[in-house]
Amino acid sequence: MDVLISIFILIGTLLIGIPVPFCFTATVMWMVGAGDYNITSLLPVGYSKMNTVALLAVPLFIMAGGLMERGKIAQPLVNLIRIFIGDRKSGIGTVAVVASAIFGSISGAAAATLSCIGSVLLPEMERSKYPLGLSAALLVNACPLGLLIPPSCIQIIYAWISYQSVLNCFLATIGPGIMLTILLCTVNAVLLRKHKDIIVADPQPLSAKFAQAGSRLGGATPALLMPVIVLGGIYSGIMTPTEASGIAVLYAIPVGFWIYKGLNRENFIATLIKTSVTSGVVMCMLFVVMILSRIYVMEDLPATILAFLNSISDNKLVMLMMVNVFMVLIGMLMDDTSGTLLCTPVLLPVVTHLGIHPVQFAAILGVNLGMGLVTPPTAPMLYLGARVASCKVNRMLTPTFYMIIFAWIPTLILTTYWSPLSLFLPRFLLGADL
């Protein structure tokens, strides 16, 4: 009963708008008082879990994303991609999805991706006569791709909590990330068929496109090198994710200041302050949630959830579906970091009992939390997208539902029920025994 009340406290405080760290703190305080736990024995739990170098990657990737956004590093990438597909009706939409995937892979933050790519591409889409509701909905649904295209901050946190290889978790999310990217581009193309007034670039032969790309490649090379250095360093084994995050920050500073000239003294300091505040909030939340997860484990909450699922159905497919619904609801109520911190210790024992490998669960978790960010009625990214695009939410709802039904849900189903989608790359590239 105490655990059930604590869950109601957590969800209730989230629904009335209390900041997420305070919601977790209130839940811990209830459990400490109701369960007669000794807080002095629980505090070292949070400290010992946080005392790891791997967690340094989280604030550093947050900082790298902020510097990329302010440093205008995304613009050259967008211009280069547009050369090849800008002469199609759905071309700019495809550019938006692919650019969101690339930018999100470095920043790892859906909000930063939406703000940055939205500021670059929304004016272009408006000039091309894209429907505003569709443009905003497409960017909203593409911004969580950073949760799936590595390096992803939530995968680092997941690997840290679940004692899995960070590289395995990175590779597990690539398949679902690519599938979701393709499906979002396809849905966008289908939704645009009835719009006859879309303005597209004049068709050019492939040789002319390559020539134009060659002329712009010099200006885009510094931006292109950033994901190459970060991802290449991680996958080659030269750098750990923590080292790669530090390199990303050091690389973004001179590129933003002196090459693309988007950074200046004022916005550089503002980015550092914003990053420090965000990192402080995340670290405080990590500390509290680690204590709460330890309490839930001692209260045997995973076994309680499993027993509850068994009482409804003993069919594995049905039980996995209910677990997915729970994670989508969590994604609707809280940010991706909080959702990862809560779902991993509570649900990992449940899904492993159902035969899901922890590395596959990394991908399942990423897709669920990403879909929760864009699923009404809460949908934090949907409301942020409305502000970025100056568009009413009701104009975004219909295309958003189409993208959820025909892009997000198929990706989630295949990620959950077809393990090769997430486990093939770790097995093939690393020889992992999964």
Please tell me the distance from the alpha carbon of residue 72 to that of residue 50, in angstroms, as a whole number. Answer: 33
Joined tokens for residue 186: 């396809």
pLDDT given at position 236: 78
- What percent of the chain has pLDDT above 90? 21
The residue to which tokens 């084994």 are assigned: 237
Range list of H helices, 71-165: 74-85, 91-107, 110-127, 132-142, 153-162
* pLDDT digit string, tens, across residues 301-360: 788 888 888 888 888 889 999 999 888 888 887 777 778 888 888 889 999 989 999 999
Average pLDDT over residues 44-51: 72
112: nearest Cα among 50, 61, 37: 61
Instruction: Name which residue leads in pLDDT, 46 or 330.
Output: 330
CB atoms within 10 A of CB 208: 11
Judge whether residue 269 has pLDDT over 80: yes
Q: What angle do CA 174, 180, 183 make, to 5 degrees?
A: 140
Judge whether residue 67 has pLDDT over 80: yes
- What percent of the chain has pLDDT above 70? 96
Between 41-45, 163-167, 180-184, the lowest mean confidence (pLDDT) is in 41-45
Sign for the pseudo-dihedral over CA of 10, 343, 381, 50: positive
Do residues 143 and 149 make contact, with C-beta atoms less than 8 angstroms apart?
A: no
pLDDT given at position 36: 72
Beta-carbon contacts of 275 under 8 Å, excluding residues fewer than 6 positions away, are 59, 62, 63, 66
Do residues 198 and 89 make contact, with C-beta atoms less than 8 angstroms apart?
A: yes
* pLDDT digit string, tens, across residues 418-434: 999 999 999 888 776 77
Q: What is the DSSP letter of 201?
A: P
Average pLDDT over residues 130-159: 88
C-alpha neighbours within 13 Å on the C-beta side of residue 184? 31
Joined tokens for residue 412: 């989630």
Average pLDDT over residues 390-402: 90
Please tell me the distance from the alpha carbon of residue 431 to that of residue 215, in angstroms, as a whole number. Answer: 41
Judge whether residue 107 has pLDDT over 70: no
Tell me the whole-structure pTM to 2 decimals: 0.84
With bands split at pLDDT 50, 70 and 90, how would you rate the model's confidence at 176? very high
C-alpha neighbours within 13 Å on the C-beta side of residue 30? 18
Single-letter code of the amino acid located at 177: G
Q: Which residues of 26-62 are buried (b: 16+ CB within 10 A; e: fewer)?
A: bbbebbbeeeebeeeebeebbeebeeeeebbbbbbbb
pLDDT given at position 242: 82
Please tell me the distance from the alpha carbon of residue 385 to that of residue 139, in angstroms, as a whole number. Answer: 7
Please tell me the distance from the alpha carbon of residue 40 to that of residue 47, in angstroms, as a whole number. Answer: 12
Between 75-79, 149-153, 321-325, the lowest mean confidence (pLDDT) is in 75-79
Joined tokens for residue 363: 């991908």
Single-letter code of the amino acid located at 354: L
Q: Assess whether the previous peptide bond of 377 is cis (omega < 30° from 0).
A: yes
Domain boundaries, the chain: 38-430
Instruction: Name which residue leads in pLDDT, 91 or 52.
Output: 91
